[in-house]
Amino acid sequence: MKIDINKIKKLRDITNISIIECKKALIITKGNINEALDHIRKYSKIESIKKSKNKTKEGLILDYVTKDFGILLEINCQTDFVAKSIQIINFGKKILTYVFKYKQENISIIRKVFNQERIKLIGILKENIYIHRIGYIKGEFIGKYIHHSKRIGVIIKSNINNNLLMKQISMHIVMLKPNYICEKNIPKNIINHEYDLQKSIAIKNNKSKIIIKKIIEGRVKKFINNITLYNQKFLFNNKRTVFDVLSENNMKISEFICFELGSKYN
């Protein structure tokens, strides 16, 4: 049956679902838009689209980690209750399996592939569901830590297979949230900005130029130590830096990804 393209467009404007789904509904209802709307409602499409405008402040972090491959996934919803549901957990696991199988890290493609299933899930759970972001690491050895709340998680890439230490380093990252691995990874503009800031503060003191220079250097060094993994005091032994602990075990961390629910930190 040939369907008027204008009817398809009109139905799509009303429901915001795909052209293909609109066409299918119109074919089934022989071109009757009102009946097509009723048909779509039976499958919770309209309700799902309305729900998709609701804000998602809750959710969960899920992972898929093998010896040499790691994925972090953040899915958002509206309530903590739904975040703990088996339906959303299984939905996340299906996405992770797909990403691993096809080595797909493009979030736009992932959202497109799972959009119909997401809409169905919205209809079941009566809340908006959003595939927020995905993190992806390939390497010789991958470690991880997911907090029991599933609100924050880490994956890291190491040069040796020391599962205990990789987990401890991951837990350290969760707690102390470094932005970079070491000083050389910090963009120069960030260090320059901090230097200028500390300089503007220090020159207000009635100190000699030599003292002011030392104050600035000390504060910038402290800033660098606070935001770099290697220079932070180790979570499990604050008398040692992370670099000290890694060196003793011949380990290097070359990459990490940290997702915290709802944040932009990674």
pLDDT computed for residue 251 by the predictor: 98
Q: What is the pLDDT of residues 177-210, one digit of tens each?
A: 999 999 999 999 999 999 998 988 888 777 888 8
What span, in angstroms and rounded, lies between the C-alpha atoms of 213 and 196?
12
Between 204 and 9, where is the model more confident?
9
Quick one: average pLDDT of 243-259?
97
Q: What is the pLDDT of residues 18-66, one digit of tens each?
A: 888 889 989 999 999 888 887 877 665 565 556 665 667 899 999 999 9
Residue 59: Cβ within 10 Å count:
25
Give the amino acid at 114.
F
Give the amino acid at 92.
G
pLDDT computed for residue 220 by the predictor: 95
Task: Kindly report the backbone phi and psi dihedral angles of residue 79, in degrees, each rounded to the nearest multiple of 5, phi listed first.
Answer: -135, 155
What span, in angstroms and rounded, lies between the C-alpha atoms of 243 and 211?
29
pLDDT computed for residue 37 by the predictor: 80
pLDDT computed for residue 265 by the predictor: 41
Pairing of β 237-241 and β 253-260: unpaired
pLDDT computed for residue 133 by the predictor: 96
pLDDT at 137 over 50: yes
What span, in angstroms and rounded, lies between the C-alpha atoms of 21 and 40?
9
Quick one: average pLDDT of 158-162?
96
- Angle of helix 5-15 relative to helix 19-28, nearest 10 degrees, comes to 110
Give the amino acid at 10.
K
